[in-house]
């Protein structure tokens, strides 16, 4: 996938998507352009495209870069169960059910409506801390993202589930 395809899928202007890359708003994602590739489209995996779109949506909200990086970093760290090695976000990207990410008072959580109609709540986690998430935290202000809908923009129904990360 490249920025043009991602823009067509999501309706987000290519310049906004490029802004996310140029300002390195997606943690642990460093796409460098080799000198002989200048002017050529940057290609990346679909799950990277998902992260770029999430960051672009947060930029549009007017969030500071550091807040976006912290939100995404925390989102990548969440697990459905502490004993599970897979990130909870991978579960969301491979499914087709409602999922919501929240960031409040420096903590992040993921709520998922599973295919069995169960509510899965990762609890509130402080990004970068080894402490376990807590369920009884109540932030005073929350940024809420419908990541199920964002997933469906990046991975339209026409794209087979087998192609998802």
Contacts 24+ apart (CB under 8 A), 13-22: 16/56, 16/59, 16/60, 17/52, 17/53, 17/56, 19/56, 19/59, 20/52, 20/55, 20/56, 20/59, 21/52
Q: What is the pLDDT of residue 34?
A: 46
DSSP lists the bridge partners of residue 112 as 99, 120
Helices then strands (H, E): number in the chain? 6, 4
In this predicted model, what pLDDT tens digit does every residue of 126-152 receive, in sequence order? 999 988 899 999 999 999 999 999 999
Residue 27: what pLDDT? 86
- CA–CA gap between residue 163 and residue 165 (Å, rounded): 7
Report the distance separating Cα 2 and Cα 154, nearest Å.
12
pLDDT digits (tens, 9 = 90+) for 109-132: 999 998 788 899 999 999 999 888
């Amino acid at each position: 996938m490249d920025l043009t395809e991602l823009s067509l899928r999501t309706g987000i202007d290519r310049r906004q998507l490029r802004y996310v890359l140029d300002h390195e708003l997606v943690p642990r994602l460093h796409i460098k352009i080799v000198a002989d590739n200048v002017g050529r489209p940057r290609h990346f995996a679909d799950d990277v495209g998902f992260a770029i779109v999430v960051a672009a949506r947060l930029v549009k909200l007017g969030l500071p870069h550091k807040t976006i990086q912290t939100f995404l970093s925390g989102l990548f760290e969440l697990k459905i169960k502490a004993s599970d090695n897979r990130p909870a976000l991978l579960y969301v990207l491979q499914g087709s059910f409602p999922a919501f990410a929240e960031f409040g008072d420096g903590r992040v959580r993921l709520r998922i409506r599973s295919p069995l109609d169960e509510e899965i709540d990762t609890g509130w986690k402080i990004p970068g801390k080894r402490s376990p998430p807590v369920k009884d935290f109540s932030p005073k202000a929350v940024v809420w993202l419908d990541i199920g809908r964002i997933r469906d923009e990046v991975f339209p129904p026409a794209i087979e589930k087998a192609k998802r990360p």
